[in-house]
Amino acid sequence: MRDVAVIGIGCTKFGEKWESSFRDIFVEAGTLALEDAQLSGEKIDAMYVGNMSAGRFIGQEHIGALIADYAGLATRHIPSTRVEAACASGGLAFRQAVIAVASGMEDIVIAAGVEKMTDVGSDESTDTLTGAADREWEGFMGATFPGLYAMIAQDYMHKYHMTREQLAQVAVKNHFNGARNPIAQFQSEITLDTVLKSTMVAEPLRLFDCSPVTDGAAAVIVAPLDRAREFTDTPIKVLATAQASDSIALHDRRDISTLDATVAAGQRAFRMAHLTTNDIDMVEVHDCFSIAEICAIEDLGFCRKGEAGKFTADGETALGGKIPVNTSGGLKACGHPVGATGIKQVCEIVQQLRGTAGRRQVDGAKIGMTHNVGGTGATVAVHILGRV
Amino acid sequence: MVGIITYGAYIPRYRIKVEEITRVWGANASDITGGLGVFEKSVPDLDEDAATIAVEAARNALKRRNVDPEKIGAVYVGSESHPYAVKPTACTVGEAIGATPHMTAADYEFACKAGTAAIQTCMGLVKSGMIPYGLAIGSDVSQGAPSDALEYTAAAGGAAYVIGNNDPVAVINHTCSFTTDTPDFWRREGQDYPRHGGRFTGDPGYFKHVKGASNLLFEQIGTSPKDYTYAIFHQPNAKFPQKVAKDLGFKSEQIKPGLVVPWLGNTYSGASPIGLAATLDIAKPGDRIFVCSFGSGAGSDAFDITVTDAITSDAFHRDAAPSVMQLLKDPIYLDYARYAKHKGKIVMQS
Amino acid sequence: MTVARFWRHLPQRYNMVGTKCETCGRHFFPPRSFCPDCRRAGKIVEHKFKGEGTVVTFTVIHTAAEQYSMLTPYVLAIVKLDEGPQITTQIVMDPAKAKIGMKVKSVFRKIATDGESGIIHYGTKFVPVE
């Protein structure tokens, strides 16, 4: 098993990209990544692309081939594979790329993520996202995706007495960070009031507790560590890759407000890297809803179960805090083009470790972590990256 | 001895008061409550229809007595608001109570007497030995056109009867009917609301047929009103049954337990079945009950029933399901706008 | 939901028919034909659930999918059936009165309709036990 490094990253601006098509945004992200790695396309050996639901958003399947084609690589007949795990599609695509290189099977591999969500109306996109849950026994019974996370929030607040204000602080912090991230969908800071007065979606979650519908694409290029310096002066080593599964339906989980798949993947990642939470300088977690970030930082071990609300309200997860969480702005402020999020998270950590995160830079960042979740916790991918 | 093995009723929780409807149409509430004797009517929930009401009534019946659903050999549901024009409510009910697949089934329509027609059919199948038990249901979420007189009374509810000959709680001694082709009230296929002949619905409609069937029964078995403890007549409002009872020679105490229309409205196919259920809820062994339904179009079914000891025996648990009085308690009142939403009277974008 | 897909689960949707592993006593809803604990040693039989349970967690849905938009605001809950399995379901009640720990029982209702001309999907919801 070889060591793997990230040698290039690229990310489009996230948002409602009316003028851009699915193909446009992928090509844009891929081009940025190749430029960043100073690599020409002919050097790419394989592609993995994370995408949740092009079949419903744009009526298009066979994404692996489509993307290879529009990346100009189809004529070279490289292997190109679409990976899907709902909102964890990007994280899984990254893991597949890392495994391909680590195993020695491939050398230079692109891991990309792309989602074009605004070509359908909001009824259709809401229904499509419900496919990340259990359609037969959750969706058909009237569950919406925010409704499922709202039930997690109710269970959590009932058990641990986190206040509504503490929960809202997650969104406030992430918008603060997002305002310092050029690719984020939302570029303004918000206040606690913004969150608490926004439209109720599913009690207790309001509009500003929920990540939006977004178009976007991101791509990273991985290579064997021992070749990384051919392409970049700042190779970033993949210290760990881990993935875990759990029941698809929330009602089948062991504990409604603990994502056991996060716990499992997190533990595996720390073991693989021989590290603990104390070694992590910043972490990108999957805040599809504010409550998801609360559970994530506990389930990864950054604070004890039941304490993440106070931990957040005390500023420990802010840019200057003990463990900055979602310096990118998270899903909440960047937006959540479903398949792209997991790759965007890697892009953010790489920028932090390279020292190029601008106004969101965490000083002396050496080791970072990403946490990407599918559905209400049925798939989780966790990665740890470090400066070489 | 063919009779009622068990019975159950179901009434939705929502109501609208007559004065809320008159408020919208600029009518005088006391004219209506005084003229019709109806104060409020039941309204189905957004996720209820004649099929869900039929299932709940049937399940309530089965809660009261241990009947093997696989022995129910026939299911007939009478309604004028079947959810499908083609696809029987009876099949959904049969599936929901575990009677499928060894059963016959069909849906009935005969305005407000489709439920009693179903009872007669089950009696025939049981009496002839073709089936051990039959399930007859009258269930409706009746519609009245906005601002029409019927809007004050068209209500939602249903009752279910398991007919058999093995230890009935009430024996049906006799039934007979009086049927003619009379256009007193009708609804054409595809139309949302029924139409009616105004005052024509009275004497040539309701009164002719109820008196026709009642007198036919008295003649056929040699009984008269004084022989009965209770009587239930179809109740499109409170006035018609009170008048026909008086005209036939019944006393107001006889019809009192079965007269639920003032607080329920007219549940169409459910009306006589619910009236009978309300009476069975308080009946004692030996009580003799007279029932005469009426359905526009037009016809009446009359029944002579005797309550047996089984109704107070260990085999029958009357309290295992809600009584009609219990179903009428703790209603939730709606304003006209929410009522219109519940009844699908608001034109939505298709 | 297409006709065949809805129809094949009628026993589950109308009558809460699941399974039980007679070897370890664990109940499954929706039905499982293989006990995850006993695996091949598990003897699986059909089991009709009583339809009674307790609310584990809930929310009030204000923004719903199109099929359910007429019902909002409505209570969506995870209910732990008395026999053990947990299910996701609607509770028909005044949303302001919903509480974790409430006892509920099943009722037969319309879940959804496939537009004006498609089939009606009947199924099971729950109401508070009074």
pLDDT band for position B350 (50/70/90)? low
Catalytic residue, chosen from B82, B196, B234, B342, is B234
Which residues is B170 bridged to in the sheet?
B4, B307
Q: Which of C52, C72, C91, C109 to mutate to test the interface with B (most CBs of B within 10 A)?
A: C109
Instruction: Report the C-alpha gap between A172 and A189 in whole angstroms.
Output: 7
Catalytic residue, chosen from B40, B48, B56, B80, is B80
Share of chain B above pLDDT 90, in %: 97
Instruction: Give the list of residues 6+ apart from residue C10 with CB closer than 8 angstroms, or none.
Output: B95
Reply yes or no on whether B174 is catalytic. no
| Cβ-based contacts of B45 with chain C (< 8 Å) | 92, 109
Q: Which of B13, B14, B45, B47 to mutate to test the interface with C (most CBs of C within 10 A)?
A: B47
A251–chain C nearest CA distance, Å: 5
pTM for this model (two decimals): 0.93
Instruction: Report CB contact under 8 Å: C65, A144.
Output: yes
User: pLDDT tens, A356-383?
Assistant: 999 999 999 999 999 999 999 999 999 9
pLDDT band for position A345 (50/70/90)? very high
As given in the structure block, the two tokens for residue A95 are 């893991």
Instruction: Report the C-alpha gap between A299 and A215 in whole angstroms.
Output: 29
As given in the structure block, the two tokens for residue B151 are 């809007």
Q: What is the mean pLDDT of chain B?
A: 97
A152 touches chain C (CB under 8 A): yes
**Mean pLDDT in residue range B240-245:** 98
Is pLDDT at B19 greater than 70 in this prediction? yes
Q: Which of B45, B83, B87 sits opposite C92 (nearest CB)?
A: B45
Share of chain A above pLDDT 90, in %: 97
Instruction: Report the C-alpha gap between A144 and A136 in whole angstroms.
Output: 13
A234 touches chain C (CB under 8 A): no
| Cβ-based contacts of C122 with chain B (< 8 Å) | 51-52, 55, 92, 96
Answer whether B241's CB lies under 8 Å from B255's CB: yes
The secondary structure of residue A199, as a DSSP letter, is P
Nearest CA in chain C to A207: C63
Catalytic residue, chosen from A336, A347, A371, A383, is A336
Helices (H), A61-179: 63-70, 89-102, 122-129, 145-160, 164-178
What are the two backbone dihedrals, phi and then psi, of residue A273, each rounded to the nearest 5 degrees? -90, -5
Nearest CA in chain B to C112: B47
pLDDT at B348 (0 to 100) = 86
Catalytic residue, chosen from B91, B112, B122, B176, is B112
**Chains with 3 or more CB pairs under 8 A to chain A:** C
DSSP A222-270: EEEGGGGGGT-SS-EEEEEEEEEE--SSGGGSSSTT--HHHHHHHHHHH
Nearest CA in chain C to A206: C62
Q: Which of B49, B84, B96 sits opposite C14 (nearest CB)?
A: B96
What angle separates helix A164-178 from helix A290-299, to the nearest 10 degrees?
A: 90
B47–chain C nearest CA distance, Å: 5
Is pLDDT at A246 greater than 90 in this prediction? yes
DSSP B166-220: SS-SEEEEEEEEEEEEE-SEE--TT-SS-EE-GGGGIIIIIIHHHHHHHHHHHHH
Instruction: Give the list of residues 6+ apart from residue C8 with CB closer than 8 angstroms, or none.
Output: none
**Mean pLDDT in residue range B330-334:** 97
Q: What is the mean pLDDT of chain A?
A: 97
Instruction: Report CB contact under 8 Å: B98, C122.
Output: no
Nearest CA in chain C to B58: C108
pLDDT at A75 (0 to 100) = 81
Torsion of CA B285, B290, B294, B299, to 10 degrees: 120
User: pLDDT tens, A47-65?
Assistant: 999 999 999 999 999 999 9
Q: Which of B46, B51, B341 sits opposite C122 (nearest CB)?
A: B51
pLDDT at C66 (0 to 100) = 87
pLDDT at A72 (0 to 100) = 87
Q: Which of C10, C109, C110 sits opposite B95 (nearest CB)?
A: C10
User: pLDDT tens, B282-321?
Assistant: 999 999 999 999 999 999 999 999 999 999 999 999 999 9
- For residue B238, how many other CB atoms are within 10 A of its CB? 20
Instruction: Report CB contact under 8 Å: A137, C100.
Output: no
As given in the structure block, the two tokens for residue B177 are 């009917």
Torsion of CA A54, A57, A60, A65, to 10 degrees: -30
User: pLDDT tens, B114-143?
Assistant: 999 999 999 999 999 999 999 999 999 988
Is pLDDT at A5 greater than 70 in this prediction? yes
Reply yes or no on whether B112 is catalytic. yes
Share of chain A above pLDDT 70, in %: 100
Cis amide leading into B331 (omega within 30): no
As given in the structure block, the two tokens for residue A48 are 């993995």
Share of chain B above pLDDT 70, in %: 100
Instruction: Report CB contact under 8 Å: B52, C125.
Output: no
pLDDT at B52 (0 to 100) = 98
User: pLDDT tens, B155-200?
Assistant: 999 999 999 999 999 999 999 999 999 999 999 999 989 999 989 9
Instruction: Give the list of residues 6+ apart from residue B34 with CB closer than 8 angstroms, or none.
Output: none
Task: Please report the residues numbered 2 through 31 in chain C whose beta carbons come closer than 8 angstroms to any beta carbon of chain A.
Answer: 9, 30
Q: Which of B52, B341, B350 sits opposite C122 (nearest CB)?
A: B52
C104–chain A nearest CA distance, Å: 16
Query: So what's the ipTM on this one?
Result: 0.93
Q: Which of C56, C61, C100 sits opposite A142 (nearest CB)?
A: C61
Instruction: Report the C-alpha gap between A79 and A76 in whole angstroms.
Output: 9
Is pLDDT at A242 greater than 90 in this prediction? yes
pLDDT at C81 (0 to 100) = 98
**Chains with 3 or more CB pairs under 8 A to chain C:** A, B
pLDDT at C1 (0 to 100) = 82
Instruction: Report CB contact under 8 Å: C76, A142.
Output: yes
pLDDT at A74 (0 to 100) = 80
**Mean pLDDT in residue range A6-21:** 97
| Cβ-based contacts of C124 with chain B (< 8 Å) | none
As given in the structure block, the two tokens for residue A50 are 């994370």
Reply yes or no on whether B209 is catalytic. no
pLDDT at A368 (0 to 100) = 98
Name the residue among A300, A308, A24, A298 with its Cα closest to residue A173: A308
The secondary structure of residue A133, as a DSSP letter, is S
User: pLDDT tens, C13-58?
Assistant: 999 999 999 999 999 999 999 999 999 999 999 999 999 999 999 9
For chains A and C, count residue pairs whose Cβ atoms are closer than 8 Å: 96
**Mean pLDDT in residue range B312-337:** 97
